[in-house]
Amino acid sequence: MNMYPSTWLWEFPTPNEAIGRAVDQIILKKRTRFQELVLADTPQYGRMLVLDGLCQSSTSDEFLYHEPLVQLPMIIHGAPRSVLILGGGEGATAREALRWRTVEKVVMVDIDGEVVDACKKYMPELHQGAFDDPRTELIIDDALRYVRRAKTKFDVIVSDLTDPSEGGPASKLYGASFYRLVKRVLAPDGVFVTHTGLVAPTVTEGMRKVWAGLGSVFKYRLPYTSYVPSFLCMMGFVMASERNITAVPSADAMDKIIKTNINGSLRMLDGAVAHALLTVPCYLRDILHASSKHK
Amino acid sequence: MNMYPSTWLWEFPTPNEAIGRAVDQIILKKRTRFQELVLADTPQYGRMLVLDGLCQSSTSDEFLYHEPLVQLPMIIHGAPRSVLILGGGEGATAREALRWRTVEKVVMVDIDGEVVDACKKYMPELHQGAFDDPRTELIIDDALRYVRRAKTKFDVIVSDLTDPSEGGPASKLYGASFYRLVKRVLAPDGVFVTHTGLVAPTVTEGMRKVWAGLGSVFKYRLPYTSYVPSFLCMMGFVMASERNITAVPSADAMDKIIKTNINGSLRMLDGAVAHALLTVPCYLRDILHASSKHK
Amino acid sequence: MNMYPSTWLWEFPTPNEAIGRAVDQIILKKRTRFQELVLADTPQYGRMLVLDGLCQSSTSDEFLYHEPLVQLPMIIHGAPRSVLILGGGEGATAREALRWRTVEKVVMVDIDGEVVDACKKYMPELHQGAFDDPRTELIIDDALRYVRRAKTKFDVIVSDLTDPSEGGPASKLYGASFYRLVKRVLAPDGVFVTHTGLVAPTVTEGMRKVWAGLGSVFKYRLPYTSYVPSFLCMMGFVMASERNITAVPSADAMDKIIKTNINGSLRMLDGAVAHALLTVPCYLRDILHASSKHK
Amino acid sequence: MNMYPSTWLWEFPTPNEAIGRAVDQIILKKRTRFQELVLADTPQYGRMLVLDGLCQSSTSDEFLYHEPLVQLPMIIHGAPRSVLILGGGEGATAREALRWRTVEKVVMVDIDGEVVDACKKYMPELHQGAFDDPRTELIIDDALRYVRRAKTKFDVIVSDLTDPSEGGPASKLYGASFYRLVKRVLAPDGVFVTHTGLVAPTVTEGMRKVWAGLGSVFKYRLPYTSYVPSFLCMMGFVMASERNITAVPSADAMDKIIKTNINGSLRMLDGAVAHALLTVPCYLRDILHASSKHK
Query: Residue C178: CA atoms inside 13 Å, Cβ hemisphere, count?
Result: 23
Q: Smallest Cβ distance to C15: which of A4, A229, A279? A: A4
Query: Residue B225: CA atoms inside 13 Å, Cβ hemisphere, count?
Result: 26
Residues of chain D with pLDDT under 50: 295
Q: What is the side-by-side order of every strand in the sheet holding C136-140?
A: C136-140, C105-110, C82-87, C154-160, C186-198, C233-241, C220-228
DSSP codes joined into one string, B122-180: H-HHHHTTGGGSTTEEEEES-HHHHHHH--S-EEEEEEEPPP--TTSTTTTSSSHHHHH
Which tens digit of pLDDT belongs to each residue from A282-293? 999 999 998 876
Q: Is the pLDDT of residue A18 over 60?
A: yes
Residue numbers of B between 171 and 230 with CB closer than 8 Å to D: 198, 200-203, 225, 227, 229
**CB distance B204 to B287 below 8 Å:** yes
**Whole-angstrom Cα distance, residue B101 to residue B255?**
15
Q: What is the pLDDT of residue C111?
A: 96
CB-based contact (8 Å) between D14 and chain C? no
Q: What is the pLDDT of residue B168?
A: 65
**CB distance C98 to C106 below 8 Å:** yes
Do D52 and C1 make contact, defined as CB atoms within 8 angstroms?
Answer: yes
Q: What is the pLDDT of residue A167?
A: 63
**Whole-angstrom Cα distance, residue D116 to residue D89?**
5
Which tens digit of pLDDT belongs to each residue from C90-120? 999 999 999 999 999 999 999 999 999 999 9
A and C: number of Cβ contacts within 8 A: 131
**CB distance A273 to A190 below 8 Å:** no
**Whole-angstrom Cα distance, residue C243 to residue C188?**
8
Q: What is the pLDDT of residue B249?
A: 97
Residues of chain C with pLDDT under 50: 295
For residue C3, the distance in angstroms to the closest alpha carbon of chain B comes to: 7
Task: Identify the burial level of C122 via C-beta atoms within 10 angstroms of its C-beta, where 0-12 means exposed, 13-18 middle and 19 or more buried.
Answer: middle
CB-based contact (8 Å) between C3 and chain B? yes
State the catalytic residues of D.
Answer: 160
Q: What is the pLDDT of residue A3?
A: 74
Q: Is the pLDDT of residue A203 over 70?
A: yes
**Whole-angstrom Cα distance, residue C245 to residue C238?**
11
Helices C205-215, C282-293: inter-axial angle, 10-degree rounding: 40
CB-based contact (8 Å) between B4 and chain C? yes
User: Which of the residues C65, C125, C202, C277 would you substitute to probe the A interface, choosing the one with the greatest number of A C-beta atoms within 10 Å?
Assistant: C202
State CA A211 to chain mean position distance.
15
* Nearest residue to A275 (alpha-carbon basis) of C77, C282, C247: C282
D165 CB-near residues (< 8 Å, 6+ apart): C1, D52, D171
Do B270 and D282 make contact, defined as CB atoms within 8 angstroms?
Answer: yes
For residue D213, the distance in angstroms to the closest alpha carbon of chain B comes to: 25
Q: What is the pLDDT of residue B294?
A: 54
Beta bridge mates, A186: A154
Which tens digit of pLDDT belongs to each residue from C240-290? 999 999 999 999 999 999 999 999 999 999 999 999 999 999 999 999 998
Q: What is the pLDDT of residue A165?
A: 64
Task: Identify the burial level of D249 via C-beta atoms within 10 angstroms of its C-beta, where 0-12 means exposed, 13-18 middle and 19 or more buried.
Answer: middle
Kind and range of the H or E run holding D13: strand D7-14
For residue C272, the distance in angstroms to the closest alpha carbon of chain D comes to: 36
User: Left, alpha or beta for C264 (phi > 0: left; psi -120 to 50: alpha)?
Assistant: left
Alpha carbon distance, N-terminus to C-terminus of chain B:
59
Q: Is the pLDDT of residue A277 over 90?
A: yes
Q: What is the pLDDT of residue C4?
A: 79
Beta bridge mates, D82: D105
Burial D10-29, CB ≥16 within 10 A → b, else e: bbbbbebbbbbbbbbebbeb
**CB distance B267 to D276 below 8 Å:** no
Task: Identify the burial level of D89 via C-beta atoms within 10 angstroms of its C-beta, where 0-12 means exposed, 13-18 middle and 19 or more buried.
Answer: buried
Q: Is the pLDDT of residue A168 over 70?
A: no
Do A53 and B2 make contact, defined as CB atoms within 8 angstroms?
Answer: yes
Segment A182-187 shows an average pLDDT of 97
Cα A99 to Cα A94, A266, B81, distances in angstroms: 9, 10, 75
Alpha carbon distance, N-terminus to C-terminus of chain A:
59
State CA B204 to chain mean position distance.
18
State CA C146 to chain mean position distance.
18
For residue D26, the distance in angstroms to the closest alpha carbon of chain C comes to: 6
**CB distance D85 to D160 below 8 Å:** yes
State the catalytic residues of A.
Answer: 160
DSSP one-letter code for A197: E
Residue numbers of B between 260 and 289 with CB closer than 8 Å to D: 266-270, 272-273, 275-277, 279-283
Burial A17-44, CB ≥16 within 10 A → b, else e: bbbbbbbbebbebeebebbbbbbbbbeb
Q: What is the side-by-side order of every strand in the sheet holding A136-140?
A: A136-140, A105-110, A82-87, A154-160, A186-198, A233-241, A220-228
Q: Smallest Cβ distance to C29: which of D9, D25, D29? A: D25
Cα A60 to Cα A48, A267, C200, D295, distances in angstroms: 9, 12, 9, 59
**Whole-angstrom Cα distance, residue B145 to residue B147?**
6
**Whole-angstrom Cα distance, residue A68 to residue A237?**
9
The fraction of chain C above a pLDDT of 90, given in percent, is 87
**Whole-angstrom Cα distance, residue D55 to residue D38?**
9
Kind and range of the H or E run holding A178: helix A176-184
Residues of chain B with pLDDT under 50: 295
User: Left, alpha or beta for B2 (phi > 0: left; psi -120 to 50: alpha)?
Assistant: beta
One-letter amino acid identity for D64?
L
Identify the closest residue of chain A to D4 by CA–CA distance. A3
Q: Is the pLDDT of residue A132 over 90?
A: yes
**Whole-angstrom Cα distance, residue D163 to residue D174?**
9
